[in-house]
């Protein structure tokens, strides 16, 4: 039997990067997956690949900052597949880059909405569905940036992602007695579109690789395997955790 056989999962930010890799892995491991992102064409491509590999998935395009969309994702999971066991709230954005005094308040708010408020809205509807199911696993994508290391010029990103760790801990305590585990994954450098936006030259990418103890960055598939661990019964006694999957960037000094 595969790891997530008969489970139902929501994955946001599924059109690319870690979200896409995780949706495919969840489906491969037997889950029925509701995939969400803004770009419908990429979601359709993803569900087509999942179906071709023998998996089951349905796509809903929308904005995770929209409360109605958060509600609709859960409604669709319950209507189509009978419930909700796993939610990977992965969607997010980099936000404004540059000196903090130059950051416009609208850009600050947009980043917090995309990275933190969207996760709250997802959880707001996912948690009651998991209670109805008798338990579940809720996972957020945070980052080591603003947690174990600071970088200049990304204040909004750092603050919003650090906020997810506080949300993780609060929800883990609030829902632990109901059989729901809540954790955050903290990726290190990973080969995604967002990472390339943050480090747009080969020189910058080489510098990022050097920051890591492993002297390389991760593939999205490597991050997905850690998300699978948190989603599965392999992590049955793990909750409230900020799981560093960072290639040693948090401890490296060489």
Pull the structure tokens for residue 23.
């949706």
Q: Roughly how many angstroms between the first and final C-alpha of the chain, as a whole number? A: 43
Q: Which of 81, 147, 157, 229 is catalytic?
A: 157
What is the rounded distance in angstroms from the CA atom of residue 250 to the CA atom of residue 167?
21
Is residue 157 part of the annotated active site? The answer reads yes
Q: Find the angle CA(184)-CA(185)-CA(186) to the nearest 5 degrees.
A: 115
What is the rounded distance in angstroms from the CA atom of residue 79 to the CA atom of residue 168?
27
What is the rounded distance in angstroms from the CA atom of residue 247 to the CA atom of residue 38?
30
* Sheet strands (E) in the chain: 8-12, 32-37, 56-61, 86-89, 136-141, 180-187, 242-245
Q: Which residues does the annotation mark as catalytic?
A: 157
């Amino acid at each position: 039997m595969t790891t997530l056989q008969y489970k139902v999962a929501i994955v946001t930010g599924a059109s690319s990067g870690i979200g896409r890799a995780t949706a495919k892995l969840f489906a491969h491991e037997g889950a029925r997956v509701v995939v969400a992102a803004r770009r419908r064409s990429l979601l359709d491509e993803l569900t087509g690949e999942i179906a071709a590999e023998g998996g089951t998935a349905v796509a809903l395009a929308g904005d995770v900052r929209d409360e109605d969309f958060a509600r609709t994702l859960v409604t669709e999971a319950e209507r189509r597949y009978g419930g909700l066991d796993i939610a990977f709230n992965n969607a997010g954005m980099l936000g404004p880059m540059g000196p903090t005094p130059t950051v416009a308040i609208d850009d600050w708010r947009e980043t917090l909405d995309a990275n933190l408020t969207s996760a709250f809205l997802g959880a707001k509807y996912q948690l009651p569905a998991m209670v109805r199911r008798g338990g579940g696993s809720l996972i957020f994508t945070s980052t080591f940036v603003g947690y174990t290391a600071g970088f200049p010029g990304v204040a909004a990103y750092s603050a919003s992602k650090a906020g997810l760790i506080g949300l993780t801990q609060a929800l883990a305590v609030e829902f632990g007695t109901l059989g729901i585990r809540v954790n955050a994954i903290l990726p290190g450098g990973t080969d995604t579109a967002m990472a390339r936006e943050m480090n747009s030259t080969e020189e910058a990418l080489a510098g990022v690789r050097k920051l890591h103890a492993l002297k390389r960055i991760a593939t999205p598939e490597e991050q997905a395997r850690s998300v699978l661990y948190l989603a599965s019964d392999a992590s049955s006694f793990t909750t409230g955790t900020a799981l560093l999957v960072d290639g040693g960037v948090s401890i490296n000094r060489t």
